[in-house]
Amino acid sequence: MACCNVETIFGLGNIGRKLQVFPSHNYKASVISCVAVGPSQIPQVPWKLVFHEKERSLLSNEKYGIYGGKFVPETLISPLTKLDYEFNSALRDPLFQMELEVTLRDYVGRETPLYFAQRLTDYYKSINRGTGPDIYLKREDLNHGGAHKINNAIAQAMLAKRMGCKSVMAATGAGQHGVATAAACAKLSLECTIFMGSLDMERQPSNVLLMKHLGAKVKSVNGNFKDAVSEGIRNWVNDLETSYFLAGAAVGPHPCPTMVREFQSIIGKETRKQAMEKWGGKPDVLVACVGSGSNALGLFHEFIQDQDVRLIGVEAGGSGLDSGKHSATMARGEVGVYHGAMSYLLQDEEGQIIGPHSIGVGLEYPGVSPELSYLKDIGRAEFSSVTDEQALEAYKRLCRLEGIFPALESSHALAFLEKLCPTLKDGEKVVVNLSGRGDKDAAAVFNHTPKHE
């Protein structure tokens, strides 16, 4: 077998791989893993499992249509398969589930409220001839740490400890996943190293300080989130025996996207229960911002089989889709491979990564969840985008109408209400995932606000 290079395989740096070199008909249904080697990225199959036949049920499905998979060097196939096995074992372990339930309740602060935004509802009705939907906010900003990220971070940290790992590595963009991981590691007495892009550290200094207060080592990486992920993976490869790479984004090689989605799905499960309690039915529309897709899938997954519930993901339109400065992967991306998985990807004709842009730091990623990619293709989820300016206005609007400061990432979902509300009937129920708190963004909003306001 030809030698493989981690940077080539993962699409680290600025190199992705386009779909046309991965014909879907070459994959066999029985294949668990796919190792891509060398610049040509030729799939080599099959990889022999170390598990008995009866244990195959503890290995989850790694593909969503053509999306997902494990485009990784051979050295990572065994650790990733072991992780898949341990993850599914934990899901079936009543003691682990009970401990997680207690931790989510007593440490994280779940369940989070489904809040009726009366004044925001009235605002949109007032500009639409007195009619419009009722708007509810799923208050993930009230979690410990101020974002939805802790749902997944604490669960994976518990899994890392269960597996006997001594240290945890993670990559973060806006810093919310970094703070959540640092907090979880402090609680569970695990060493913690967070990789963060130098550009993001300048934009989110408060979260850098919080990570350090929580005992984490914060390592600066030249660039932004995608570069931090690459560096985190490199370091994990060097210490596979005792370290754990705690993914916070719903991207990367299997089982990482599935794990993140599963541990975030508590958001949608609570939303279903709370909607039934509040109005005796389901939401009509769910709205969430989309960077990699962790908070969107957390809300959407529970309702995927409910065809009468619309699922709307809102991407970062940056300075406009035609400006070249955006993070709208679903709108302008093509199918390719990056960081070990196939999904939609911002790339040029030669597979070079197009740098993403958004005022919401956590939305700056050139790829997106394999599962969301699949939901787009089958038409189950809709996707739109809003600009930086629209997100800034939505941030200020929620502050002034409801006394709630949303993260700039979440503000993209709120901004979409401008387009959505006029199209809905009076009294329809819209749930927006308020995925994070916006105190980290207060300075950025202030700096973009005209002095006369």
Strand, helix or coil for residue 399: helix
Residues 194 and 281 in one domain: no
pTM for the whole structure: 0.88
Mean pLDDT of 79-103: 96
* Cα–Cα distance for residue pair 168/165, rounded to 1 Å: 8
The lowest-confidence range among 16-25, 72-81, 83-92 is 16-25
Residues 279 and 244 in one domain: no
Q: Is the pLDDT of residue 206 over 70?
A: yes
* Cα–Cα distance for residue pair 283/151, rounded to 1 Å: 22
Residues 277 and 396 in one domain: yes
Range of the domain at 78: 63-107+149-253
Q: Is the pLDDT of residue 295 over 60?
A: yes
* Cα–Cα distance for residue pair 217/202, rounded to 1 Å: 17
pLDDT in tens, 257-269: 999 999 999 999 9
Residues 96 and 178 in one domain: yes
* Cα–Cα distance for residue pair 242/256, rounded to 1 Å: 18
Confidence band (pLDDT; 50, 70, 90) for 62?
A: confident
Mean pLDDT of 243-265: 97
pLDDT value of position 164? 97
Q: What CATH code is carried by the domain that includes residue 396?
A: 3.40.50.1100
In a domain, 271, yes or no: yes
pLDDT value of position 450? 76
Residues 193 and 272 in one domain: no
Pairing of the two strands 429-434 and 134-139:
parallel
E strand or H helix at 313: strand 310-318
pLDDT in tens, 333-386: 999 999 999 999 999 988 899 999 999 999 999 999 999 999 999 999 999 999
Strand, helix or coil for residue 356: coil
* Cα–Cα distance for residue pair 235/437, rounded to 1 Å: 30
Answer with the residue of higher pLDDT: 88 or 54: 88
pLDDT in tens, 321-346: 999 999 999 999 999 999 999 999 99
Residues 360 and 434 in one domain: yes
Burial state string for 220-248 with b = 16 or more CB within 10 A and e = fewer than 16? bbebbbbbbbbbbbbbbbeebeebbbbbb
